[in-house]
Amino acid sequence: MNKRILVCGFLMMFILFGCSKQTLEGSVNPHREYGEHQSELSYDKHYVTSLNYPHTNIEILDDAIKDIIHQHQDRFLADVANYQEEEIAEFNVSYQSYIKDERYISVKLDIYRTIYQTSETIETLVYDTKNNTMIDLFDIYDEDAMQELSSYTISYFQTNFPEECNTSNFKIASSPSLANFNHFVLRKDAIVFYFQENTLFDRSATLEIPYDELNEHMHLKSEKPVFVAYDQVLNEPVKNIDPNKPMIALTFDDGPTKKYTPVILDALKEHHASATFFVLGSKAESEPKILQRMILEGNEIGNHTYSHKQLTTLSKERIEEEITHTQESIYKVTNQYPQIIRPPYGSRNDTVLQCADDKKIVTWTIDTEDWRSKNTEKVVQIVLDQVEDGSIILMHDLYASTAEAAIILIPELQERGYQLVTVSELYAYGKNNAGKIIEGK
């Protein structure tokens, strides 16, 4: 072959590769959330090498990335050594990188090689900044819950690709062994598994599982998955509470609810006001984002028991269960234990006080009876008629009428000179004149 034709051919191939790669990346919309983009292009008579990877400035992670690339590159070079075809061979690495929160960084490498045919390998790396180490699945997922992961995978693909799942390859590659699930990245709210080509199917496959689906088996909870991420962007709410000016606590019981709690939170946020939400343990875990938002925006969460039973009718063990179970549910999603308890109906006796332990029992000074009237005007009127310095106002984030009342009351009470604070703030500033915050025993 004439040398000029060879160079031309090579350039043509190069342009083609360049173009096809761009389209490919455009179509997969690469996430590059972490690291400085590095690009190295080199070519030989018979092949092109194109390496794209992140430089993360984390030694262990950068070394791991380079190790993996070099392993594949060495294998490619060995295979291409005797390659004499006219078609230029290619070794191509591209990547995506993800930040889950301030703790976990993941890198996915897509390694394409074309010698006689094209093959693709996916490699993943997950780095734990807290322990300065690379992790594998069992660092964040229960070893004995592989069956659940396998079942989830099988049912997902059987639902979406029913015709392709009846192969022995599929059976083997979806079985509950670590080897099948060791390629994954941690995104903000989902773990994403990758299955290589010729495992589940001829082509490679991706399975995204929201963390919520695997809650009980994942060990990510304690790291405040969403909480920390938000915490980085949002500053701690700044509160300028003047101890010499009147202050009151709005309290909302029996929630959270998807429909009304966010409306009340919006109104509080708009006016830089705080409130206290006495949530039910049974509802807390299903609305983690609402609870996290409450805390991040400077509100307080109180324990309103797990199932809203009248505690004075229960045995000591049952009371403890109601309280503890709720403490744990709230801690799971906010990383904080409530310091205050409001027993349903305000019912309490000595046993309830004992079970409260170091937490305070909180009742109220103004009962809006919002559940009875479900009338915005009546609720507003009761509050404005009775409010005074130190008031603890009882409402429920269960009704449209109450959310409406909150929207009216929050600016109106501020207008009248009241600072809207949490119950614990009220207590801290000594505003317990009505004796409605009671020490546990």
Residues labelled catalytic? 253, 396
Burial of 333 (0-12, 13-18, 19+ CB in 10 A): buried
Of residues 333-392, those binding Ni ion (CB under 5 A): 344
String of contacts with Ni ion for each residue 139-158, x by CB under 5 A: --------------------
Tell me how far, at minimum, the Cβ of 319 lies from Ni ion, in Å: 16
How far apart CA 93 and CA 75 sit, in angstroms, is: 14
Q: Contact at 8 Å (CB) between 264 and 397? A: yes
The CB-nearest residue to Ni ion is: 253
Q: Contact at 8 Å (CB) between 367 and 373? A: no
Of residues 241-260, those binding Ni ion (CB under 5 A): 253-254
Q: Which is nearer to Ni ion, 110 or 322 (CB)?
A: 322
Q: Which is nearer to Ni ion, 111 or 393 (CB)?
A: 393
Tell me how far, at minimum, the Cβ of 362 lies from Ni ion, in Å: 12
Tell me how far, at minimum, the Cβ of 192 lies from Ni ion, in Å: 40
How far apart CA 340 and CA 334 sit, in angstroms, is: 15
How far apart CA 290 and CA 301 sit, in angstroms, is: 11
Tell me how far, at minimum, the Cβ of 271 lies from Ni ion, in Å: 25
Q: Which is nearer to Ni ion, 254 or 425 (CB)?
A: 254
Torsion of CA 371, 309, 295, 231, to 10 degrees: -130
Q: Which is nearer to Ni ion, 175 or 373 (CB)?
A: 373
State yes or no: residue 404 binds Ni ion (CB under 5 A): no
Tell me how far, at minimum, the Cβ of 435 lies from Ni ion, in Å: 20
Using alpha carbons only, what angle is made at residue 420 by residues 302 and 238, rounded to the nearest 5 degrees?
90
Tell me how far, at minimum, the Cβ of 194 lies from Ni ion, in Å: 47
Q: Which is nearer to Ni ion, 165 or 264 (CB)?
A: 264
String of contacts with Ni ion for each residue 290-329, x by CB under 5 A: ----------------------------------------
Tell me how far, at minimum, the Cβ of 432 lies from Ni ion, in Å: 21
Q: Which is nearer to Ni ion, 333 or 398 (CB)?
A: 398
Q: Which is nearer to Ni ion, 302 or 344 (CB)?
A: 344
Q: Where on the chain is the footprint of Ni ion (CB under 5 A)?
A: 253-254, 344
